[in-house]
Amino acid sequence: MCGIVGILGKQPAVPTIIEALRRLEYRGYDSAGVATIENGHIGRRRASGKLDNLVKRVDGEPLSGLTGIGHTRWATHGAPTENNAHPHATENVAVVHNGIIENHEELKQELIELGQVFNSETDSETIVQMVDYHLKQGKTPKEAAYATLQRLEGAYAIAMIFASDENIMIGARHGAPLVVGFGEDEMYLGSDSLAVAPMTRKIAYMPDGVWTVLSHKGAEFFDMDGSTVECPVQTTALMAGAIGKDGYRHYMEKELHEHPVVIGQTLRRFVNPVTHKIELPELPFDIKNLKRGIITACGSAFYAGVIGRYWLEEIARLPIDLDVASEMRYRNPPFDQGGMGLLVSQSGETADTLAALRALKQAGQKIISVLNNEHSSMARESDVVLGMDAGVEIAVASTKAFTAQLTVLACLTLVMGQERGTISSEYADECLTALLDLPSRVAEILQMQEQIQKMAHIISQVQSVIYLGRGIMFPVAMEGALKLKEISYIHADAYAAGEMKHGPIALIDNTVPVISLLPSGPLFEKTLSNLQEAKARGGRILIFTDAKGAERVKNIAEQIVVLPTVHSFVTPPLYTVPVQMLAYEAALLKGTDVDQPRNLAKSVTVE
């Protein structure tokens, strides 16, 4: 969530830090700040709210230091006020921190007794006060930082600068991501590679439990025992141009229009164009004899996992347990050794999913992770990574990454189905052909903006919406409801259509639209019957269906959006796109902040 930028440079650092913080706005934040070394003193500017408020502060009270750190904060401990904003500082040291220091109360009390004076409500200030105390005892910056890090419990990514030496910066990572960038006599820290993309393409991804001392000559890396460790420097393909809006109004709009390309690129990773077969990396178990699997994830990635369970159970006949990651390890389920742990994440850094991964490994499960970041913590700790090719996703609400996740899960399902002998090669070819055709069908939906806007006009005027789906359309309905809540702040719930009469039907009247995802197929008639029940109680029926289905529902629906007719295997990703578009258009009509909805963060690195 929170964003970190650090620069040890040759030019005034603040303008570049501000630019980098703008690239991290997608992570979600509610205050921001910068600190630099100004002629042997700490200079600091902070502001609550959006980054533009910080820019006004800096314009009015400039900072000229060459060494600086910046931060966008998503409040955990303490309200989103200027006083709680980072960097936290004393006259000797300034610190920015992502994560949570779990033993901060114990450390704070200890430091108060030693004479340190706290000025905020945050857990993060414990770090700066402890470093400051050790500096006052005569320790060097490196010694003070190391002594502090040895006392911290919890998750953190940290950057520190010191009034006594503008030629040093210290970073540390435990449970929250941090990267080091290498320039020409300049060094950088960032909470992800996107932060430093325009400055350098030479990146070192810090492993967990490692801290670093940066100077103009480079970086030294140490473990928590103080021993030197190696961190390989990689050349990242990420460029500054990759994060522009390309003429779109919002990043989310741009990313919605990238669905066809992302699905196609992800398929190219796995489909051999010569043999027309899906080729996966070697999996860490015998597919034929695999007895059970578990899928776990958070947010939209969890809904992708629900769809994956439908596919794997129906097509590959593999029993699948399913848990949101924040609950999985607390449920403490029993596992057979050598089972499959399948995790889904856009960032690969989500704290709950990473904790679930570690719990599954400890339980003897073989880990497959579906990720958009193959340099992430989850990637390093997985047995196999199935990488999707979604590119950078800036908007907080996930769109193209979701369909990329589904594309990977679809490929995995077809390979498992064939290996387990549960589907014929002819059926597998049918499904693969439908997958390869999917980008074209999705592109058709992107041209239906006017129809979806009409539906959004209805939605934008109400306070509550119900989404209905049956079978594999149920998790797509959940994704649609989540998107609407996230960016328009309209209350929305999704239900398996057959469950509506067991309670939610009490909510239905002429002020509650009912949105149904209703492709033709075996469950069409049953879902139509559920919609008739809602219609009889005054519900306003809005339907996404295909041409065949449209004929059947025209007498009960207030509005119908007719989607392309496709193979049933690919209906989940296809029907995902219009419900995401609907949320976007409703948010526009409501006038909300589409890319950075309130209270949300892109990569949640605390539990």
Does residue 410 contact residue 435 with C-beta atoms inside 8 Å? yes
pLDDT tens digits for range 115-153: 999 999 899 999 999 999 999 999 999 999 999 999 999
Q: Quick count: other Cβ atoms within 10 Å of Cβ 607?
A: 16
* Distance between CA atoms of residues 3 and 287, nearest Å: 40
User: Of 379, 412, 544, whose CA–CA distance to 476 is shortest?
Assistant: 544
Going by their DSSP bridges, the two strands 88-89 and 210-215 should be labelled as: unpaired
- pLDDT for res 240: 46
pTM of the predicted protein model: 0.74
Higher pLDDT, 40 or 499: 40
CA end-to-end span of the chain: 11
Q: Quick count: other Cβ atoms within 10 Å of Cβ 110?
A: 16
171-200 burial, b at 16+ Cβ within 10 Å, e below that, comes to bbbbbbbbbbbbbeebbbbbbbbbbbbbbb
Name every residue whose Cβ is closer than 8 Å to that of residue 117 and which is 6 or more positions away in sequence: none
- Per-residue pLDDT band for 241 (boundaries 50, 70, 90) equals very low
Section 296-312 average pLDDT: 96
Backbone angles phi, psi at 276, to 5 degrees: 60, 40
- pLDDT for res 1: 56
Q: Rg for the chain (alpha carbons), in Å?
A: 25
Six-digit token pair at 523?
């469950």
Share of the chain above pLDDT 70, in %: 96
Residue type, 565: T
* Distance between CA atoms of residues 264 and 35, nearest Å: 44
- pLDDT for res 599: 67
Least confident among 49-53, 238-242, 425-429: 238-242
- pLDDT for res 332: 81
- pLDDT for res 242: 53
Section 328-350 average pLDDT: 89
Does residue 572 contact residue 472 with C-beta atoms inside 8 Å? yes
- pLDDT for res 472: 96
The rounded mean pLDDT for the chain is 90
- pLDDT for res 5: 93
Provide the 3-class DSSP secondary structure of residue 522. Answer: coil
pLDDT tens digits for range 154-172: 889 999 999 999 999 999 9
Q: In the chain, count of helices (H) and strands (E)?
A: 19, 27
Whether 238 has a pLDDT exceeding 60, the answer reads: no
* Distance between CA atoms of residues 181 and 214, nearest Å: 10
Does residue 429 contact residue 454 with C-beta atoms inside 8 Å? no
- pLDDT for res 77: 67
Q: Quick count: other Cβ atoms within 10 Å of Cβ 129?
A: 24
* Distance between CA atoms of residues 377 and 495, nearest Å: 34
Cis upstream peptide for 504 (omega within 30°): no
Beta bridge partners of 46: 33
Name every residue whose Cβ is closer than 8 Å to that of residue 96 and which is 6 or more positions away in sequence: 4, 6, 33, 35, 69, 70, 71, 86, 87, 88, 124, 158, 159
User: Of 195, 175, 254, whose CA–CA distance to 25 is shortest?
Assistant: 195
**Enzyme catalytic residues:** 2, 602
DSSP string, 206-245: PPTTEEEEEETTEEEEEETTS-EE----EE----GGGGS-
Q: Quick count: other Cβ atoms within 10 Å of Cβ 39?
A: 9
* Distance between CA atoms of residues 26 and 399, nearest Å: 13
- pLDDT for res 154: 87
Six-digit token pair at 395?
């908007």
Residue type, 7: I
- pLDDT for res 487: 94
pLDDT tens digits for range 61-92: 999 999 999 998 877 667 778 888 989 999 99
* Distance between CA atoms of residues 142 and 183, nearest Å: 22
Does residue 302 contact residue 325 with C-beta atoms inside 8 Å? yes
- Per-residue pLDDT band for 598 (boundaries 50, 70, 90) equals confident
Beta bridge partners of 205: 179
